[in-house]
Every structure is written in structure tokens, then in C-alpha cells.
Structure 1
């Protein structure tokens, strides 16, 4: 018996190659909206509201995400330099994920097909270990007490 046109199985088979499911795209949109909302709230309260960092609170060390809420607030004010100073890797990653999300939504809606990187199976396998290694390296470097590394602390 064939799947009904409205069944999840039928919808999943109609997705263009490389485009995440609708549920994933909605989840990404909700997460992005939450991040923007948190940045607005942090900016409106002068930084009194934010996400406390457990690593920083317990050890005094800045994690790879420390400063991300203040970075978002700086972006909302149009202060790109301050945003880069607070957490450049998260800013770049956020821009990349945002671009991918827009390209996937446009392709899913049949509006346009924006260029995006094609990952080989080997690259897909290595992506998480590479990102974890970069995050750990950034954490170590931004916590070094000497200049110019000390400038990376938020």
C-alpha cells in the first residue's frame, strides 16, 4: 500500500537532497529566535540577564561560548568590532549556520538553490572531531594570561 500524500514518510521522500527535515528547520528557527531574544533581553537589561557559564563560575576559565550573549547584544547595537572581540568563533559559526538555514529553507520552498558546501562522507565523519578540537584549542588559547591571548577573554 502506497503512503498517503500527507503522511510523514511521503513528505520525507520529497525533500531535496541535502536538505534537513521540516522539523529540523523549525527547531533551528526556534533556537535562533531564542538566541536573538536572549540577546535583546541582555541588551535591554544592561547585561543583568544572560546565561551563566558553569565553567567560568566554578573555575574562572572562559569556555568557548563565554561572551556569546553579550556578542549577540553587541550585534543588535551594530557594534561588529565588539561582537568580534567578545566571541569571534561563535559569531562566524552563527553566520554560517544562519546562511545554511536560509539556503535550506529557500530550496525547500522551491524559491532558489543557494550555493553551499558539499561534504564528502569522510569530511562528515571528521566534522565533529575537528569542531571539538577547535573549540578546545580556542578555550586553552583564550585562557592564556599573556598578551595577545588575554585579549580573547570576554
Structure 2
């Protein structure tokens, strides 16, 4: 019996669905979409994630050169996460349909302990540095 879709994968799938909606809205608005950042509104500083919406919109339009300066760390992370979530959803769907089972990546405990804090540390450092420059 196929295992149920992991709650984290469902959450990431919801984020990707939101991205698809954002892509549609971006297309309908002529590329003039932007969500205000509460941190920036309160402090006047850019948070580590500021520019991610504009970066994603530029990527959806195929403009890689315009996407990079908006948020370089997320430029690297977003495609990797998108591919991983897409693969997990494909594996789950194929298994649910009873066709076949794709191997699923299972990161070790050490990776699960190190990667999230390292990512947050990199983003925090980026948040500080982008406001100093």
C-alpha cells in the first residue's frame, strides 16, 4: 500500500500552487506584481527574503539575468526545492496510480540537522550584508 503523502510535501505543494497562481496574476498584471514586505514596511530595511517575488516573476518570464540580482540565495534554492517537490509529487502520484514506485530521496539525520540551520544562517547573513551595501 502506498504511503500517505508527507505533510511537508503537501505544504510545499501548496507553496508551489501559490506560485502558479502568482505566475497567473503576474501574467495578467503585465509583470507589475509585488507583495509588500512587513519587515521592510516596519523598519525600512530589506529582509533576507525581499525580492523573492520579483525574482520568481522574472524566472517565470524566462529572464534569468533580471532574476539574479533580486535575491541571489533564493535564486539558487528555489529551483532546487521546486525540482525536489515536483519529483516527490510525481513519485507519489505514480505510486497512487499503481504504475510503479520511483525511489524517494531520504536525507540522513545529519543532513536534516545541519541544512535548515545553515540555510537560516546564510539568509540571516545575507539579510545583514544586503542592508550594509
The 1:114/1:82 distance shift into structure 2, 3 A limit, reads farther
Whether the aligned pair in 1 keeps the contact of 2:88 and 2:104 (CA below 8 Å) is no
Matches of 1:39 and 1:104, distance apart in 2: 22
Moved more, 29-38 or 106-115: 106-115
Match of 2:15 among 24, 31, 36: 31
Q: Does 1:135 align with 2:119?
A: no
TM-score (norm 2): 0.77
Task: Give the Å deviation of 1:47.
Answer: 5.7
Task: Spell out, residue by residue over 1:9-51, the C-alpha distance to the aligned partner (whole angstroms, 9 max, x if none).
Answer: xx6xx43xxxx72554343222212123224424543565432
Contact 1:39 1:69 in 2 (8 A): no
Alignment map for 1:1-154 (pairs within 5 Å): 14-15=2-3, 21=5, 23-42=7-26, 44-46=28-30, 49-108=33-92, 109-110=94-95, 111=100, 113=102, 116=105, 118-145=106-133
Report if aligned partners of 2:91, 2:104 keep a CA contact under 8 Å in 1.
no
- For normalisation by structure 1, the TM-score amounts to 0.68
Question: What are structure 2's unaligned runs of at least 5 residues?
Answer: none
| 1:57-81, Cα deviation, whole Å (9 max, x unpaired) | 1222111111111112211221111
**Greater RCO (CA < 8 Å, at least 6 residues apart):** 2
Once residues 139 and 131 of structure 1 are traced to their aligned partners in structure 2, the CA distance between those partners, rounded to angstroms, is: 12
Change (3 A) 1:21 1:85: same
Larger-Rg structure: 1
Runs of 4+ in 1 over 6 A off after TM superposition: none
